[in-house]
Amino acid sequence: MNNLAAIPVAAVLLHALAVLEVPGFLELDEDFVIAHPPHLPQDKALDSEHIILCTPAYVSSPAAQYTGGLYAMAYEGYDGSDYCDIERVYEAQPGWDLMAHAAACAKAVADWFAARQTTAEGSGDDSGADDTDEVRTSTTEVC
């Protein structure tokens, strides 16, 4: 039996994010992993853009039970209670290789946050508003 078999899927996902210096945490009530931009503290993660990493089964289940289907969806938070999805950031290719899926997902998440930061920095906005305020305003009418 693989030594990683008993480790929860969430631990593998969180490790993959940490390797790329993307903060994340396990949301116990909903049983998914939330990744957020490095400049935001965990307690503010849901108030702004964040990415939820999910599997069809629970992420708290052992890695040995992973059957594929990992995906990551970017959301915009509104006061921490209502969310608008922005886009699907990652969807695993068929197969059960959790380590490969977690690494690819973490890379997609890191790239997505980096692209959002670069886009916001390139806008030349000197208003003092943070990047998330700009995005929130632009997506509010869509949701």
Is residue 2 a part of any domain in this protein? no
Q: Is residue 57 part of a domain?
A: yes
**1: in domain:** no
Domain membership of residue 4 (yes or no) is no
Domain count, the chain: 1
pLDDT at position 117 is: 82
pTM: 0.81
Q: Which residues of the chain have pLDDT under 70?
A: 1-3, 79-81, 119-143
User: For 109-132, how does the pLDDT look when each residue is reduced to its tens digit (9 = 90+)?
Assistant: 999 999 998 766 655 544 444 443
pLDDT at 47: 86
The parent domain of residue 111 ranges over 9-140
Q: Could you list the beta-strand ranges (E) of 55-111.
A: 71-78, 82-91
Give the contacts of 81 (CB within 8 A, at least 6 positions apart): none
Phi, psi (5° rounding) for residue 8?
-65, 150
